Amino acid sequence: MKITEVYKKYKITKSLQEHHLRVAAVAKQICDDLTVPVDAKTIIEACLLHDMGNIIKFDLDKNPKWLEPEGKDYWKTVQTEFKKKYGDNEHQASIEIAKELGASQDVLKCIGAIGFNKAVQNSKSNDLEAKLCDYADTRVSPHGVVSILERLTEGQQRYKDRSDKWILPGMWEELSSACYKIEEQVFANSRIKPSDITDESVAPIIEQLKTYEITETR
């Protein structure tokens, strides 16, 4: 099944589809220029599926443009459907959806490694696939490809009024430092540098990924 068909089947918002594709494109650009072997297929599939359950955490009263063209009422219904089927944890929902799609254990592991709160764990890990997936996600904001600093600043601003997402200053510093450490680790074995990854550089990769076929293992 093409990834665009998967997104349609699971009623993924246009903005979230774009996020998935950007993250996967960042990851692919890095994979293509690494000087060490990695399982690029696993990395790309994990990135294409990593936030499938995110409608669960959406604040539908903010950023109405993210809900276009269907509108708030439509996505409120979808959100209710997701919560009824998968519960209130968007990360677990994403894992469950990936399982439904027949994702491999390696893909599931990489999806589970993506998230700001996983940065310290990933920085200490030798799992380059998981590390790279997490890094690619930190390079993409809701508006496009950005630096780590820009992504951290945007995330802090976006969740400043969300008590369920707020992170204490001390932990924020530790996690932020780990994000930069992961960047150093990833590019220690790369022919490109972080600044080479831009909206322009990933644009053609995104177009390629729109026809990507998700491989089911079952």
Which domain does 133 fall in, by range? Answer: 3-209
d(CA 26, CA 148) in angstroms, rounded, equals 13
- Residue 22 inside a domain? The answer is yes
CATH number of the domain residue 51 falls in: 1.10.3210
Tally of structural domains, the chain: 1
Residue 217 lies in a domain: no
Judge whether 216 lies within some domain: no
Q: What span, in angstroms and rounded, lies between the C-alpha atoms of 61 and 78?
A: 15
Low-confidence stretches of the chain (pLDDT beneath 70): 156, 158-169, 216-218
Q: What is the pTM of this model?
A: 0.93
- Tell me if 136 is assigned to some domain: yes
Is 55 within a domain? yes
What six digits make up the tokens of 197? 């990854």
Question: Is 7 within 8 Å of 210 (Cβ atoms)?
Answer: no
Instruction: Give Cα separations from 20 to 50, 77, 98, 136 (angstroms).
Output: 7, 22, 13, 10
What is the distance between the alpha carbons of residues 123 and 165, in angstroms, rounded to a whole number?
Answer: 21
- Residue 218 in any domain: the answer is no
pLDDT tens-digit map of 20-79? 999 999 999 999 999 999 999 999 999 999 999 999 999 898 878 888 889 999 999 999
8-state DSSP, 195? G
Q: Is residue 147 part of a domain?
A: yes
| Residue 214, in any domain of the structure | no
pLDDT of residue 164: 56
